[in-house]
Amino acid sequence: MRRIHSRIDTSGTTYQANRAHNLRMVAELREKQEAVRNVRPQRDRDRLDRQGKMFLRDRLEALLDPGTPFLELSTLAANMAYDGDVPGAGQLSGIGVVSGREVVIHADDASVKGGAWYPLSVKKIVRTLDIAIENRLPVVHLCDSAGGFLPLQAEFFADRYHAGRIFRNQSILSKMGVPQVAVVMGHCTAGGAYIPALSDYNVIVRGTGAIFLGGPPLVKAATGEEVTVEELGGADMHTSVSGTADYPASSERHAIAIAREIVGRFTRAEKAQVDWAEPEPPYYDPQELYGILPQDSRTTFDMREVIARIVDGSRFHEYQPRYGETLVCGFARIWGYQVGILANNGVLFNDSSLKGAHFIQLCDKNRTPLIFLQNITGFMVGREYERRGISKDGAKMIMAVSGASVPKFTVNCNGAFGAGVYGMSGRAFDSRFLFSWPQGQTSVMGAEQAANVLTDIKLRQLARNGDTLTAEQIDAIRDPVIEGYKREQSAYYATSEIWDDGLLDPVDTRNALGIAISAALNAPIEDPHYGVFRL
């Protein structure tokens, strides 16, 4: 396969300026991640110490196989919610290797509000378990939660994808034959009690672990019965009397060791067969991505330069290189796995939409997973394009994206605006994983564009009455719109709301996709079949 010939001038001023800008962006990302992962008020740390509990990150490292990667998901969930007071939504989620098996790890963070579940915590857990279902990955739960955050119960209790979904997903996993092991390292109260109860295996730490529907205060209030935590739901009671828990452990590390041994008993799923070759690192240094991504997201750049810094050997077999050139399509390998890549080099026209729809079907027939590298401002609009059937051609692409049976992976590299996002496998299209780079904005349209549309509507209303607006009045309409859009279309907002599975430092994309593809192949791939394409 031919290597992409890079045309980047790494000594040029644009490259250097981009690089400085993007390094700042990444430094900001790293700083926020570090804060979410490790920075806690001393009193919270002290409380863990007093309780003899390990910090969540230490639990994680003890659980994972040494010298193996961990792909953390939605690290910055809730970073723009709850006044930023619930880092990571009080949850940890990710894909790691335990006893040689790829597993999903879900953990409550007791150092954040005692591990209480906020609405976004629930959303994160549900998404984590969706990932387990879609990719048939065993789950390790590290349970340590005070229960739901009651003041916000309306936002996490009753609806279809609220807390009940966690337990529904657990049950479905079990039904699918995908095992789960829960390690009870703190209290599992109320709904939380069902996480260990619905896990195929569970381990409970003596002294700190407890499982009950209602804790001692609730019992006292309800029935007047006075009962200790240990009597009510401690390790010895549950492992010897109720049978709610399976293995008692004398310490957290002991519990983790037992859980690791349990995971080591899981029969490995047979992986879906896709074309694979010995991996090769990219020929072009991924660090150069920093100099390629523009400072202003509106500046165009060639996505082939990005592809060259993600794929094996920077090799790319481009499909239809001369047709529909605003959508770059072609085959490459990531960590040895053959993938079909669709990347935006501009707005989607009729021809690029047709090309995309066709290429998706080629990949699906060929059992080749799909990678969408989004930098999309939308489908082309205008009389000429409507007459050529841009909506009809866009529908073809959306039909292909929706129907493809092979796993899909999406990275928002720069921008994801408008209906183009649908064609490029946005969140609604069930990509197995969706990541975003720190400058990757997403919204129904660009901020300026939206402001213009809104002021235009206002001006027309006024014009009907013969009124008009001063420049100041126009700005007064425009500015809040732009400000609101800018906030809500930022990558940090998207990831806060869990519209993606997390932000990536661009240089991490290759590893993240490798781990994601490998994980996705634990689920069998259905035969290709589609709905009706409007021809």
Partner 1 sequence: MPGFFLIDGVAHPAALAPADLKASPPEEAIVAKDGDHIWVHVDGAAHELVWQDPITHFEEESASGGDDVARAPMPGSVIQVAVTDGDSVTEGEIMMVIESMKLETAIKAPRDGVVMTVHRAIGQTFERDAALITLEAIAL
Partner 2 sequence: MTAFPFESVLIANRGEIAARVARTVKALGLRALLVAHRVDEGSPALALADDVRWIEGPTPVAAFLDIPQIIAAARDMGAGAIHPGYGFLSENAGFARAVAAAGMIFVGPEPDTIELMGDKVRARAFVERHGFPVAPSAIEDDDPATFVERARALGAPILIKPSAGGGGKGMRIVRDMAVLEQEIARGRSEGERYFGDGRLFVERYIERPRHIEVQVLGDAHGNVVHLFERECSLQRRFQKIVEEAPSPALTPQERERICETAAGIARAAGYRNAGTVEFIYGQGEFYFLEMNTRLQVEHPVTEAITGIDLVEQQLRIAAGQPLAFDQAAVTRSGHAIELRICAEDSARDFAPTTGPVLRLAAPAGARFDGGVSEGGRISAAFDPMIGKLIVHGEDRAEAIARADRALAGLVLLGLKTNIGYLRRLMGDPAVIAGDIHTGLIGERTELAAEPVADEATLARLVAIAARHVPELVREAAEIPAMHAAIGGWRN
- Residue 504 binds: one of partner 1, partner 2, none (C-beta under 5 to 8 A by kind): partner 2
The reply to whether 456 sits near partner 1 by the rule CB under 8 A is no
For residue 399 the two structure tokens come to 């039909």
Q: Which of residues 222-241 bind partner 1 (CB under 8 A)?
A: 228-231, 234, 236
Shortest Å distance, C-beta 62 to partner 1: 8
Give the separation between CA 339 and CA 358, rounded to whole angstroms: 15
User: In the 3-class helix/strand/coil scheme, how is 185-219 assigned residue by residue?
Assistant: EEEEEHHHHHHHHHCCEEEEECCCCEEECCCHHHH
The reply to whether 339 sits near partner 2 by the rule CB under 8 A is no
| Near partner 1 by CB under 8 A: residue from 249, 401, 406, 482 | 249
The reply to whether 70 sits near partner 2 by the rule CB under 8 A is yes
Q: Are 110 and 192 in contact (CB under 8 A)?
A: no
The reply to whether 303 sits near partner 1 by the rule CB under 8 A is no
Give the separation between CA 414 and CA 64, rounded to whole angstroms: 33
The reply to whether 335 sits near partner 2 by the rule CB under 8 A is yes
Shortest Å distance, C-beta 29 to partner 2: 10
User: In the 3-class helix/strand/coil scheme, how is 287-342 assigned residue by residue?
Assistant: HHHHHHCCCCCCCCCCHHHHHCCCCHHHECEEECCCCCCCEEEEEEEECCEEEEEE
Q: Are 236 and 74 in contact (CB under 8 A)?
A: no
- Strand (E) or helix (H) holding 104: strand 101-108
Among the residue ranges 146-154, 246-254, 368-376, 503-511, the one whose residues contact partner 2 (CB under 8 A): 503-511
Among the residue ranges 4-12, 156-164, 395-403, 502-510, the one whose residues contact partner 2 (CB under 8 A): 502-510
The reply to whether 57 sits near partner 1 by the rule CB under 8 A is no
| Near partner 2 by CB under 8 A: residue from 100, 177, 321, 524 | 100
Q: Which residues contact 391 (CB under 8 A, 6 or more apart)?
A: 379
If the CB atoms of residues 207 and 294 are measured against partner 1, the closer one turns out to be 207
| Near partner 2 by CB under 8 A: residue from 10, 16, 51, 99 | 99
Give the separation between CA 119 and CA 115, rounded to whole angstroms: 13
| Near partner 2 by CB under 8 A: residue from 5, 11, 42, 67 | 67
Q: Are 441 and 489 in contact (CB under 8 A)?
A: yes
Q: Which of residues 187-206 bind partner 1 (CB under 8 A)?
A: 206
Q: Which residues contact 158 (CB under 8 A, 6 or more apart)?
A: none
Shortest Å distance, C-beta 302 to partner 2: 26
| Near partner 2 by CB under 8 A: residue from 104, 370, 416, 515 | 515
Contacts with partner 1, residue ranges (CB under 8 A): 65-68, 99, 206-207, 228-231, 234, 236, 249-251, 253-254, 257-258, 260-261, 264
